[in-house]
Chains A and B, each alone.
Chain A
Amino acid sequence: MITISHYLVFSALLFCISVAGIFINRKNILLLLMSIELMLLSVNTNFIIFSHYSNDMTGQVFVFFILAVAAAESAIGLAIIVSLFRIRNSLEINLINKLKG
C-alpha cells in the first residue's frame, strides 16, 4: 500500500539530488541546465501528488503552466549558451567571470 508520504519522500529525494548536481558541476553549464529541469520535474510531481490526494484538478492546471514556462526557460537558456560558446569557446562555469560579480 503506497501512501502519500512515499510519493513525497521520493519527490524530496529527487529535489535534493538535483540541488547536489548544481553544486557539483563546475565544468559544464549544460549539465547545470539539466539539473534545473530535474528540479522542476520534482516540483511538478509534488503538485500532481497533492492534486491526486486532495481530489482537486487545479494542481494539474498549475503543472501545465509550469511545463510551458520551463520550456520557454530552457529555450532561452540554450540560446544564451550557444552565443556564450561562440564568444568564449568553452562552457566551463569557473571561467565565466566577465561581470566580476
Chain B
Amino acid sequence: MDILTILFYLVTSVIIISSLSLIIVNNTVHAALLLVLIFFNSAILWLMLKAEFLSIVLVLVYVGAVLVLFLFVIMLLDLPVKEKVNQKLYLLFSLIISLIMFIELYMVIFYHDFYQVDEINYYAEFNNTYEIGLLLFTKHLYSFEVTSLILLVAIIAAIAINSANKRKALKQDPSRQIEETKQSRLKIIKDKDL
C-alpha cells in the first residue's frame, strides 16, 4: 500500500464516522464543529483529486464563512439541549430508505464499465487555477454573471426577511407626529423640595 491509498482510507473513514455522528448528535454546536471536520477532510480528498483551487475555496468559503455563519446563528438562538426522544420509527424508516439507495448506487457503480483512465500525467506547467479562470471567463461567462445575481438576491432576501418586523423598525410615522401635542409629551412636576 502506497501513501496515497493509506491517506484515502484515513480521510474517508474520518468523513464517514463524523457524518454518522453528525446525524445522531443532539447538540447543534457539536454538529457544526463536526461539519468543520468533514469539510476539512473533504478538502484533502479534493486535493488528492488534483482540484487545488476548489479545495482551498472549500476551506476558505465554507469553513471560513458558511460554518461561522452557522455557529453565529446557533449562538443567537440560544437553543436548549433537549433530551433524546423516542424516534425508533423514523430511525427504522431512514435506515431502510438509505440502505436501499446505497445498494442501488453500489450496483450501478460496480456493474457499469467506466472508461478507466488510470493516471493522467499533467504536464509540468499545468495550472489548475489558470485553467478554471480561463474557462470561467470565456466559455461560462454568462453563467458567472448569473451567479453574481444569485448572490445579490441572497443578500437582499436575507436582509428583507429579518427586517420585516415593522413595529420595531426605526421609521417615521407622519400622522402620529402631527397628532402629538405639547400636553401629550410634556408633564410638569412640581418638586416640593426646591
Beta-carbon contact of B32 and A80 below 8 Å? no
Does B135 have its Cβ within 8 Å of any Cβ on chain A? yes
| Binary interface encoding of chain B residues 65-108 relative to chain A, with 1 for a CB under 8 A from any of its CBs, else 0 | 11001100110110100100101001101110111011001100
Beta-carbon contact of B31 and A31 below 8 Å? yes
Give which listed residue, A12, A17, A49, A60, contacts B23 with CB less than 8 A.
A17
**A33 CA to B23 CA, complexed, in Å:** 11
**A45 CA to B55 CA, complexed, in Å:** 10
Kindly state the interface size class of chain B when it binds its partner. Answer: 35 or more
Chain B residues within an 8 Å CB radius of A86: 165
Does A57 have its Cβ within 8 Å of any Cβ on chain B? yes
A-B contact count (CB 8 A): 204
**A69 CA to B66 CA, complexed, in Å:** 12
**A88 CA to B131 CA, complexed, in Å:** 49
Beta-carbon contact of A71 and B101 below 8 Å? no
Chain A residues within an 8 Å CB radius of B45: 45
**Can you offer 16 A-B residue contacts whose CB atoms are under 8 A?**
A4-B116, A6-B8, A21-B22, A23-B97, A24-B24, A26-B85, A30-B79, A31-B31, A34-B31, A60-B54, A60-B128, A63-B51, A69-B147, A78-B73, A81-B73, A82-B73
